[in-house]
Every structure is written in C-alpha cells, then in structure tokens.
Amino acid sequence: MLKKGNKLYSILTGSCPRCHEESMYLDENPYHMGKIFKMHEKCSHCDLKYKIEPSFFYGAMYVSYGVGIAFAVAAFVIANLFLGAGLIETFIAIIITLVVFMPVIMRVSRNIWINMFIKYDAKATSKSLNS
Ligand SMILES: [Zn+2]
C-alpha cells in the first residue's frame, strides 16, 4: 500500500515532497492542459517553497526523458510481446502511449525531480514547528 512517508506516494500523487499533506499543483488533474505546470508557490502545511531556485524545474526535463523511455518500453512490451503486434503497430502504440501519457509523464517527472532534493519529514506536517 502506498502511504504517506514513502517517496512513491509524493511522486505518484504530486503531493508536497516534505510533508505529503497536500498537492503541489493548483489542479490535480494533469489532463487539464492549461494548468499542467501551475503549482502552488509553497506548501501551506510545512511552508516548503517548491521552486527551490529559479528555473529549478528545468531539470525535470532530464527526468522526463527517462520516464518517457520507461513508458515506451512498457508500451513495447504490452503491444509486441503480449498482444503480438507487428513492428509498425508496436511503433504506433509507443507513439500513442507517449502522446496520451504526456501530461502524466511531465507531472511525474517534476515529482521525481523535486523528491530527489527534498526528503520526507513527518515533523514538518505540524504547523506549530514553523511558528
Ligand atoms: Zn508540505
């Protein structure tokens, strides 16, 4: 089970990497394309500033490259090995997968990126700590 305190929880849900208490994003649904990169300035629970430095999230592009490959490999395995699709069909399946999951890939990449720099801190959930 995915629980708070696990990095995967923050990565998959897009919650604050430090306290896991709330979403970093204004709109949790990545398919609302206009808002895909709209994030809160900071966490209202632990006061963490998400944009650690200017253009911090540019680094997420490197991560999205890897995440994209992971999705492509998954599409390849499913289409080619499980469904027995030919080379062309497999290729098309990979393209469609990447396009369809693009918003998810972008979001997950940002989540992975910020989680590489910020550790979960259970104590950070309490507001009194920051007073
Ligand atoms: Zn937080």
pLDDT tens digits along 54-69: 999 999 999 999 999 9
CA–centroid distance, 67 to ligand 1, in Å, is 24
Name the band, by pLDDT with cuts 50, 70 and 90, for residue 1: low
Helix (H, G, I), strand (E, B) or coil at 49: strand
C-alpha 48/C-alpha 40 separation (Å) is 10
Amino acid at 93: A
CA–centroid distance, 26 to ligand 1, in Å, is 14
CA–centroid distance, 111 to ligand 1, in Å, is 13
Residue 66: C-alpha distances to residues 20, 92, 106, 123, 126 (Å): 24, 19, 11, 32, 35
pTM for the whole structure: 0.90
CA 58 to chain centre: 14
- Nearest Cα residue to 30 out of 48, 44, 14: 14
CA–centroid distance, 70 to ligand 1, in Å, is 28
